[in-house]
Structure 1
Amino acid sequence: MSAVLRRIFLASLARRRLATALSLFAIALGVALGLAVQIIHSAALDEFGRGMHLLAGEADLQVIGPREGFDDAEYGRLAIRDEVADASPVLELDVRLPGRDRSLRIFGIDALRVAHVNPALMPLVAEAQRDERDLTVLRPDVLFASPAAQAELGVAPGGRLDVQAGAQVASLRIAGSVPGAGQGRALAVMDIAAAQALFGRLGRITRIDLRLKSGIDIEAARRALAAGLPAGVEVLTPQATEDQSAGLSRAYRVNLTMLAAIALVTGGFLVFSTQFLSVARRRQELAFLRALGLDRRALMRGLLVEGAVVGLAGGLLGIAVGHGVAALAFDVVGGDLGAGYFRGVAPALRFDPQASGAYLLLGVAAGLAGAWLPARDAQRMLPARALKSGDEAHMFRFRARPRIAAGCLGLAFVLCLLPPVGSIPVFGYLAVALILVGAVLVLPMLVRAAAHRWAGSRTVLWQLARARLAAAPGQAVVAGAGVVASVALAVAMAIMVASFRDSVDRWLTAVLPADLYVSAASQGTSGFFAPETLQRIAALPGVSRTMPVRFDTLRLDDRHLPVTLIARPLDGGSRLPLVGATAQVPTDEKPAWVSEAVVDLFAVRPGERLVLPLAGKPVAFRVAGVWRDYARQQGAVAIELDDYRAATGDLVANDVAVFLAEGASFNELAAAVRRLLGESTARIATPGEIRALSLAIFDRTFLVTYVMEAVAVLIGLFGVSTSFAALAIARRKEFGVLRHLGLTRREIGRLITLEGLLTAVAGTALGLVAGTAVALVLIEVVNRQSFHWSMDLHLPGVALLAFALIVIALAAFAARVSGYQAMRDSAVLAVREDW
């Protein structure tokens, strides 16, 4: 294409500055949101990976057991294997810090072995803290904190740090640092024997890091070493451990990325609207270029270049905004966007050239996709006909395509029946896209049917608006496509989030039946209640009964993350939020209830046999039912507390639920518990407090979703504004004729407002229907395949109605403001070119 033609086409973008700016901004928003999500999670994953590499050190393999650990005799057995060059035992604990409302990861290490396998965890004794025999590392009352931990906790060598051990508080002296941990990891180390004694883990370890001899095949060694291990203890490579942990957040990242992609697609609709109307307004100009010798392909290339330039500019702006959004997110919600996957990870913002380049190409693609249909229509026009005034009217006579619309919706239904691809609901997202396409294809049929339905009105302006939409339903398609897409997205997310929140609220009610909950360490492994402590709590005045709860993690295989074991009195499962069918368990077998995630990940069903590794031994259970669990995405298994104690001999508990006797005072009982356990060693909460905190975390997690909903609606309103602005210019002759027939400028404005109102009503109504369909896909397909939990449909009717009315009102207002130019034009000048 010649430089002259490039200037001709690109100059049109400058002439319609508002429409170009809004289209550019819409694409920039989609690019910015998607890129920000990518940057945030890439940085968080990289930082998380560095932390995992730090903890693995030079280990070729890691022997990993449950949270409560396994017999440390396995260390001695593995250390003398022919394949092993060095072995280092580790006891990993999340230790609650009383009075600080946080926990600290403490590693119990063998200082004589850790330097050979994981030198990053080697402690360095501060010069002033050395004893005369230089055995400070082995002392039972000392702790070595990383530089990051010292800075966050405000402690230094020579200071003391209180930690919770069981239901007691122990004070440890900071004797030095862990320089290999660097500035980004808040952790501490201490002698493994001291950690076992202090935290009630005598004879237990949680991990063994192995460095193999030179020339040993890692996979062959992994299989050989795993053969003799206790049940529930697996041998994994450090990379496999990292992949399993990082994979937990994959579905959340993909969901946010897909939402950003839909916002980008909505921006593509806006480019389509502005380009389509630009082609309609410039139809005579383009026909004149054709008459002068411009061929069809060059015309199409020129119009596509316009769209590509808008996409390129929007992409560049989106890249800049995306990095700004990522920087803000790091400060406000953290590297996990509030979801809690990377708690404690502090990633740094950096430029990602690959992701930026990919999203820049997506922005250009959105601009090209939006310009393609208008360019194709311009390519097919006949110059002789297009040179005549009024020829652009046929562009708005969209032909209804009911078969294609029905095909899209039917294919969407079929795709919803397909399984995920690599735990990603690919076909579910394709179904969402097909529903949006089908809805847009249905829009001209809906507009035409509605126009005939509205024919009974006798108001002149109403009849003019109805006749315009009936004769040219394409006007509604051009102006309303963005409204349909954005409203559908916003409605779908509103229904999904409302359904999820309502289900979580009812789930919390079901799993919190007691009047008072006492937790030793809700997020840690260092706190627990001994049997005598449980008896003393049960004997307090005002206590009707207690329900101890024991938590652990179990590795059911080496391909998945460990599932959570919950042992508590269950009364045959009646205290669980069961879903689906249950199975009768023979009296001579032990019942177990699995969460929906376990059903999906491990393919177990009610009535089937389930072997759980308890205390290093395989114990057979029978699956009695499936229960809903929103707290543990990796899966959970609930068993009766008596069965757990019989299999393990473990009598301690992490939490205890307390039921008040009739007439007992909650405040008096809470005070009695505090006097018994101490002010800082246990957390006491009511079900209402736990529910409020959980729902607050829920709302913070979905903060990004709410922002994306607002962006989608904003883009849709941009579409209405730019569409009616361009339509007003393209229809200046029509308005001039109406002015000659007696309509005033104010009445022309009301006509435009009425057309915008009718278009918004049709688009919003269709968006509500399409959004409900998309919500069903999100609830029944995407969320189930991504997070492995179900939820009950909850329609926030009042909120949706209010939202629809606001969108319609804003769309009508946008049409009125955008059509202001049509009210200012001279009636004589508007029709003087008509011939």
Structure 2
Amino acid sequence: MKIVTKSFLRYLQRRLTLSILQIMGVTCGVAGVVGMIMSAQTALKSFKNAIEFLRGKSTHSIQRHAGPLEESFLLELAQDPSVEHFSPVIERRLRLDNGETIRILGIDPFLDRFIRPEFSNIEFLDKNETLPEAFLSFLINEREALIDHNLKKELKIKENRLLYTEKGPIHIKGSFPNPSGEPLIIMDIGHLQKLYNLDGYIDRVDLILSDEQGFISRWKEGFLIQASKERSETFSGMLKSFRLNLEALSLLALFVGVFLIYNTSMFAVVSRRRDAGILRSLGANRIEIFLAFLSEILLLGILGGAFGGLSGFFLTRFLTKLIGSSISNLYFFLRPEPIGWSIWIIIIGIAIGCGASLLGGAIPLLELIRTDPVKALSGRVGSQESSRKAIRAAIGGIFVLFLSFILFILPGSHIYVGFSGVFGFILGVSLLTGLLLILLYPILRKILSVFGGIPGKVAAGNIRQNIGRTGVAIAAFMISLSMSIGLSLMIGSFRQSLIWWMNSQICGDLYIGKIDEAEVPEEFYEELKRIEGIDGVHPYRNVQVFYQKTSINVSAVDPFVLERFARFGWLKGGDENWDEVKEGGVIISESFSRRFGVKTGDRITLEGIQGPVDFKVGAIFYDYTTEHGLVMMDRKTFIKTFGDRTLNNIGIFFDPNNPKRDELLREVKKRAEARGLTVLSGSQLHQNVLKVFEETFSVTRSMRAIAIIVAFFGIAGAILTLFIERTREFGIYRGLGFSANQVARMTLMEGLGMGFISFIFSIGVGTLLAILLIKIINLRSFNWTIFYFTSWQPYLLTGITAMIASIGAAIYPIWRVYRTYPQIQIREE
């Protein structure tokens, strides 16, 4: 047994290049899996930690259903017998001069120490001041703030350092511990009120209650009271769709990675048939052959898994930043800390590498030990036998595709059922690859003979003859190329749908607002309405409220302005339904309709300042602002319901033929900037939205690139394995008169032929994958419709990628052709 195992392991040393390539194949597969899964988990864990840290020890929070909370309310709250401790809070985003946005919290230091005791552990920067002097300075001076330790190190804050923001310079007085990793700035709540013009108002009050039921019974009318756990679940629920898509990408990485490792370990077994035959003829039994092969596969899995875990660790640090950026843009400002090093990363990598390697090598290994020694000595599997296997695999693929179709048409299916259907579709078409290759062989033979002459014709025959190896490599490459096409078409369709939506609904000439979440003064809105010549002044307010214990968005609009200038895309209803909005009704987004099963004509109930209010749904419109659902109502109805008169932004509209348009645009911009308000043209706002869109899909694009790299090693391994197996055959070709250039051309044609077939298959598979992602996965994840837009660019880029990867995979075998003499190639080892 020891001798047999040594002979197998010595092969790895003799075929060092192939061994390295196989290890790199396992490494890339494991790295993709570890990188995607761990970065997603790290970002989501950071999100949870940030929520928990901001919650502190509070048991509940109280706020208005919409809009700010009156500060005078604290006097009554302090006398409530159920309140043990309370802390008023203002929470905003502060934009630094470098463009970075950081959460800033306004608190009362004396009240908040019972809720968030970490804020009491302050390290003041000025060592010359006593602790009471420094603390008193923080309370008195309006421009002083505290930052967390991590942000202090990052910004290299030293004594008396000023932090420059769009609100002006802020003096950093000290720092505090922040275990969540999210950057945070703290100011006295009174100073933050002045900074954001919120005199007399706060956002919420965090509470520690002794009697929950008694408190709720006294304060439930007109207020939103949430248990801290419920509030955390609300934030987590906001991330549900995003988390599901991260999990899908992680599973996709796992699928592609395992497929490549399967490909690699399968090559390691089938390319050794002749070696196994020799050892069997010398007296080795089946068990010894099995264990020897098993040790080789495990060695590849261990080495590749270890390197893959290490590579995945570095990939995780890159992907974590991308995911954190996406979460910040869409939901909740977050800067997740990159995962720290742990030996468990290597162990996880080895486990994935060994598991997938055993899975890939199990079937061919069992076939090998059952093969007759004389038949095994021939080395390669016969064409007829390979054809039978391809047909059996295709039958299995058709069955898997049928199961996937059943999963797709199940009514009301969960998103995981949709994901299972997509993975089944990918697996099914990969099993069909061998049969499709056999059917398309005549066409491939003609194409390669046209471009490569006789060497091209021979190359096509070699691809067909060795379908047991080339079929798996082509399937792996096809899946990666299909992912590239499918994801590109999905992203492109989403982008075009977003542009259509913006041109229809965000069509103002100017938008005036506040980047830092401060409100636009209502008196400025009234001032703009008095300017003669402006055709439309649109006030906009968006708040989060709860419907059926789930967070949704409610927007206050002016239906008269929108009816005149906007062109909403209607799923149900039309422009005539603006009349219902004017009379106190509402219109809802597609995502709200699908999420809660609400149709036109139904009534929905929202909690207002004076209790529940019923609204009739007039129409359903397409919307991409939030997947959680949007209810749109007249501003007058909104103020009556929620008592909130604040504004997020103002839109300015002009008729195209208005002669005073340019003059008035300059005037409005001048007045807005004088008030410190941000002014964006319609096109600038569109560009900002598209920028967020591009950043959101950066993770998906990274996954697509990883899949292409992974597939490259699959093709390279197949070509190199075929070259090593057929070394003697190449020598015979040279002996029959083929020149080195012709043999090299034959090798190149094999690589290009495999890449070409993979690309042809991926055109259909990638297009179908895009349709499945758009019509099933996206709709079940986000409850909104993406319209399918086709484009030639994904196909062109994928085709170029396929050809470049195929040529790159053939470079080393071609180099070996020129470096090896025919006499050496023909000689039996």
What does residue 28 of structure 2 align with?
A: 29
Secondary structure, in 3 states, of the residue corresponding to 1:116? coil
Contact 2:306 2:349 (C-alpha < 8 Å) held by counterparts? no
Secondary structure, in 3 states, of the residue corresponding to 1:68? coil
Partners in 1 of 2:23 and 2:725 — Cα distance? 21
The yes-or-no answer on 1:16 pairing with 2:11 is: no
What does residue 5 of structure 2 align with?
A: 6
CA drift of 1:245 comes to: 1.9
What does residue 208 of structure 1 align with?
A: 205
Give the alignment's TM-score, normalised by structure 1: 0.85
Contact 1:608 1:623 (C-alpha < 8 Å) held by counterparts? yes
Give the 3 Å change call, closer, same or farther, for CA 238–651 of structure 1 in structure 2: closer
Secondary structure, in 3 states, of the residue corresponding to 1:639? strand
Once structures 1 and 2 are overlaid, which stretch shifts more, 236-245 or 543-552? 236-245
Letter of the aligned partner of 2:206 in structure 1?
A: D
Give the 3 Å change call, closer, same or farther, for CA 251–80 of structure 1 in structure 2: same
Partner of residue 536 from structure 1, selected from 527, 536, 543: 527
What does residue 217 of structure 1 align with?
A: none
Q: 1:685-731 CA distances to partner (integer Å, 9 max, x unpaired)?
A: 11211222222222222223223222222222222222111112212
Partners in 2 of 1:277 and 1:742 — Cα distance? 30
Letter of the aligned partner of 2:650 in structure 1?
A: V
What does residue 298 of structure 2 align with?
A: 308
Contact 1:75 1:89 (C-alpha < 8 Å) held by counterparts? no
What does residue 85 of structure 2 align with?
A: 87
The yes-or-no answer on 1:244 pairing with 2:234 is: yes
Q: 1:225-267 CA distances to partner (integer Å, 9 max, x unpaired)?
A: 4455446744433333234324434543553454354344434
Give the 3 Å change call, closer, same or farther, for CA 319–282 of structure 1 in structure 2: closer
Partner of residue 505 from structure 1, selected from 474, 499, 502: 499
What does residue 537 of structure 2 align with?
A: 546
What does residue 782 of structure 1 align with?
A: 777
Partners in 1 of 2:737 and 2:132 — Cα distance? 103
The yes-or-no answer on 1:734 pairing with 2:729 is: yes
Secondary structure, in 3 states, of the residue corresponding to 1:447? helix
The yes-or-no answer on 1:687 pairing with 2:682 is: yes
The yes-or-no answer on 1:414 pairing with 2:409 is: no
Partner of residue 372 from structure 1, selected from 358, 362, 365: 362
Partners in 2 of 1:568 and 1:257 — Cα distance? 40
Partners in 2 of 1:262 and 1:156 — Cα distance? 46
CA drift of 1:684 comes to: 0.8
Equivalent positions of 1:570-585 (< 5 A) are 571=562, 575=566, 577-582=568-573
Q: 1:290-342 CA distances to partner (integer Å, 9 max, x unpaired)?
A: 33444434433432333332222222112222222334456788565875545
The yes-or-no answer on 1:488 pairing with 2:482 is: yes
What does residue 245 of structure 2 align with?
A: 255
What does residue 145 of structure 1 align with?
A: 146
CA drift of 1:395 comes to: 6.2
Give the 3 Å change call, closer, same or farther, for CA 786–314 of structure 1 in structure 2: farther
Partners in 1 of 2:458 and 2:161 — Cα distance? 83
Q: 1:600-642 CA distances to partner (integer Å, 9 max, x unpaired)?
A: 4433233221112333532221223333333323332222223
Contact 1:139 1:191 (C-alpha < 8 Å) held by counterparts? no
Letter of the aligned partner of 1:26 in structure 2?
A: G
Once structures 1 and 2 are overlaid, which stretch shifts more, 673-682 or 637-646? 673-682
The yes-or-no answer on 1:602 pairing with 2:596 is: yes
Number of residue-to-residue matches in the alignment = 812
The yes-or-no answer on 1:404 pairing with 2:396 is: yes
CA drift of 1:487 comes to: 0.9
Give the 3 Å change call, closer, same or farther, for CA 799–819 of structure 1 in structure 2: same
Letter of the aligned partner of 1:742 in structure 2?
A: G
Partners in 1 of 2:459 and 2:162 — Cα distance? 78
Partner of residue 713 from structure 2, selected from 718, 721, 724: 718
The yes-or-no answer on 1:770 pairing with 2:765 is: yes
Letter of the aligned partner of 2:519 in structure 1?
A: G
CA drift of 1:802 comes to: 4.1
Q: 1:426-478 CA distances to partner (integer Å, 9 max, x unpaired)?
A: 22332222222222221122122112346777954454344444555334303
Partners in 2 of 1:663 and 1:184 — Cα distance? 48
Secondary structure, in 3 states, of the residue corresponding to 1:416? helix
Partners in 2 of 1:32 and 1:390 — Cα distance? 32
Partners in 2 of 1:161 and 1:11 — Cα distance? 63
Q: Which runs of 5+ in 2 are unaligned?
A: none
Partners in 2 of 1:610 and 1:554 — Cα distance? 13
Q: 1:651-672 CA distances to partner (integer Å, 9 max, x unpaired)?
A: 4422111123535576644542
CA drift of 1:745 comes to: 2.7
Higher percent of residues as helix: 2
Equivalent positions of 1:256-295 (< 5 A) are 256-295=246-285
Partner of residue 617 from structure 2, selected from 623, 633, 640: 623
The yes-or-no answer on 1:821 pairing with 2:816 is: yes
Partners in 1 of 2:15 and 2:41 — Cα distance? 38
Q: 1:196-234 CA distances to partner (integer Å, 9 max, x unpaired)?
A: 687565765433323244xxxxxxx55554455446744
Partners in 2 of 1:158 and 1:821 — Cα distance? 66
Letter of the aligned partner of 1:593 in structure 2?
A: I
Q: 1:705-760 CA distances to partner (integer Å, 9 max, x unpaired)?
A: 22322222222222222211111221234334434443333222223333333322
Contact 1:99 1:680 (C-alpha < 8 Å) held by counterparts? no
Give the 3 Å change call, closer, same or farther, for CA 732–671 of structure 1 in structure 2: same
Secondary structure, in 3 states, of the residue corresponding to 1:656? strand
Give the 3 Å change call, closer, same or farther, for CA 386–41 of structure 1 in structure 2: closer
Contact 2:510 2:681 (C-alpha < 8 Å) held by counterparts? yes
Partners in 2 of 1:391 and 1:344 — Cα distance? 55
Contact 2:325 2:695 (C-alpha < 8 Å) held by counterparts? no
Give the 3 Å change call, closer, same or farther, for CA 109–256 of structure 1 in structure 2: closer
Give the 3 Å change call, closer, same or farther, for CA 187–569 of structure 1 in structure 2: farther
Give the 3 Å change call, closer, same or farther, for CA 717–185 of structure 1 in structure 2: closer
What does residue 555 of structure 1 align with?
A: 546
The yes-or-no answer on 1:644 pairing with 2:641 is: no
Secondary structure, in 3 states, of the residue corresponding to 2:712? helix
Contact 1:448 1:470 (C-alpha < 8 Å) held by counterparts? yes
Partners in 2 of 1:58 and 1:437 — Cα distance? 49
CA drift of 1:109 comes to: 4.1
Partner of residue 758 from structure 1, selected from 745, 753, 758: 753
Partners in 2 of 1:575 and 1:501 — Cα distance? 20
Give the 3 Å change call, closer, same or farther, for CA 309–589 of structure 1 in structure 2: farther
Q: 1:516-568 CA distances to partner (integer Å, 9 max, x unpaired)?
A: 1111x2451x32221x311322344652221111122212243x335343434
What does residue 116 of structure 1 align with?
A: 114
What does residue 519 of structure 2 align with?
A: 527
CA drift of 1:500 comes to: 1.6
Letter of the aligned partner of 1:409 in structure 2?
A: L
Contact 1:567 1:639 (C-alpha < 8 Å) held by counterparts? yes
Partners in 2 of 1:130 and 1:669 — Cα distance? 55
Contact 2:147 2:172 (C-alpha < 8 Å) held by counterparts? no
Give the 3 Å change call, closer, same or farther, for CA 285–34 of structure 1 in structure 2: closer
CA drift of 1:90 comes to: 1.8
Partners in 2 of 1:354 and 1:233 — Cα distance? 48
Give the alignment's TM-score, normalised by structure 2: 0.85
Q: Which runs of 5+ in 1 are unaligned?
A: 214-220
Secondary structure, in 3 states, of the residue corresponding to 2:572? coil
The yes-or-no answer on 1:345 pairing with 2:346 is: no
What does residue 632 of structure 1 align with?
A: 626
Equivalent positions of 1:454-473 (< 5 A) are 460-473=454-467
What does residue 57 of structure 1 align with?
A: 56
CA drift of 1:102 comes to: 6.2
